[in-house]
Each structure stands twice: as structure tokens, then as C-alpha cells.
Amino acid sequence: MEIIQSTANKTIKNLVKLHQKKYRDIENKYLIEGEHLIQEAKEAGVLKAVYSLSSYDVGVKNVLCSQEVLNKLSQQNSNAKLIGVCKKDETPTFPCDHILILNDIQDPGNLGTLLRSAYSFGFQKVILSENCVDLYNSKVIQSSQGALFHLQIQKRNIEQWIQEAKEENYTVYATALHDHSKYLNEICFQKKTALILGNEGCGLPLSLIEQCHECIKIEMAAFESLNVSIAGSICMYKAFIQQDQTE
């Protein structure tokens, strides 16, 4: 089997362009790295090809490459072993009671962690505002640990989506330090729950908070607020536990 040795190879140069959002959008493809993510992508039906140092049979095209070529495709610091090429796929839709809404999240690590927590705690649908960091950013994918392959993820206008959620009888919860915020321990999450988290620096705008049924803050011994991915994970866990206790 032929091995791609040069980073100047046309196919490799085109794949490297997928490090940039505009080319991911144009090509409708993105890169993933590591055996765990490749297996998750294969299971989800989005894996199209694998680039590797040695033969790797996962049921899709396998292209052998030199270490230099794999490192060119990688966005991590250590030597790469497996790079996958995935297609952006239409998110399957199915009914779900718990929904996470993320408004203008900018840090890819935060978005990836929130997706991982959402999948772990039964929030099977995630709504992203139009100004959120790109879902297919390599750091988002890596920190999600494959959760994005299993969730319904949609990009929407958040104000419009809140109105639609209310019409479908969801109780919408904002997370913010607001005059009318209740402590998380006081909240009784409803069967149909939508939880909204805001931007790392600015939080949620007042216009969104005022559209929600309740506003949540977390009890703490020190500091005023937590990192958004930690705060969101705590709230989702609380909703998950309450639902488990009532079933």
C-alpha cells in the first residue's frame, strides 16, 4: 500500500485547510483525532476516512502516512497516530424532555465540556446561538469526548427559540446573578426543562433573562460565580437527579 510521505501532497494540503472554519463550512467536513473519537464517529455514521501510521481497519478508507504528514494534520502537540475525516451530518431529531441552550459561548473547551455533561446528564438536545464558537473546532470535539456525535445540536436565534419552547410547555430556566434569582437548591426542575447558559464574560443579556420562567444561581462558600461549564454541569446534574427521583 502506498504511503503518503510529503506534507506537500495535494490531498494533505486540502485536509489541512479543515483546521479553518471557513473551509470546514465549504467542504462540509472536519477532522478528529484519536482512537476513541474515531470509534465514536464510526458508530454515529459520520466517519469517511482514516489517516494513520499503520493499517487500521474500522470499515472506512484507510490511508497510510508518515509521522510528519500525520503531525501536519494534527492540531495537538504530541505525535499523532490516527486522524479521521468526518462529514457534517444532519442532526437526527427525536423528542426529549431536557434541553440545554447556550448563548454566545466563546471558549471551545467550555463548549466541549458542556456537550459532554449534557450527554452524561440526559440533556439530549442542545441549542447554540448564532455567535457560539464553531461546533467543529478541534478543541470542542476533543473536550466533548465524542458527545457531539450523540446529541441533537441546532444553531438558532435564542429569543425566537424560547418562545417556541414555551409554546411546547417547557419551563425555561436562566442561569444568572439577578435580583430575582433563586438558589439552585430551591429549584424544582419540571419534566420539560430548558436550561440557558450565557457568555463567559457577559453572562446572559437581560432581554433573555426576562423571557425565562425562573432564574438560577448556585450556592457557594466563596466567589460570586463559577466557570460556565462547571456551573452548567452542576445545574444539569441537579435536574438529572431530580428527574431520576420522580420516575
pLDDT in tens, 21-66: 999 999 999 999 999 999 999 999 999 999 999 999 999 999 999 9
Q: Return the C-alpha torsion angle 212, 240, 151, 118, nearest 10.
A: 80
Tell me the H-state helices in the chain.
10-16, 21-27, 35-44, 67-73, 108-120, 138-144, 158-167, 206-209, 228-246
The predicted pLDDT at position 116 comes to 98
The predicted pLDDT at position 247 comes to 57
Q: Is 184 in contact with 129 (CB distance < 8 Å)? A: no
DSSP 8-state secondary structure symbol assigned to residue 90: P
Q: Is the dihedral of CA 222, 227, 232, 237 positive or negative?
A: negative
The predicted pLDDT at position 125 comes to 96
Confidence band for 9, pLDDT divided at 50, 70 and 90 = very high
pLDDT in tens, 186-227: 999 999 999 999 999 999 999 999 999 999 999 999 887 889
> Quick check: 87 pLDDT over 60?
yes
pLDDT in tens, 92-130: 778 899 999 999 999 999 999 999 999 999 999 999 999
Q: Is 148 in contact with 108 (CB distance < 8 Å)? A: no
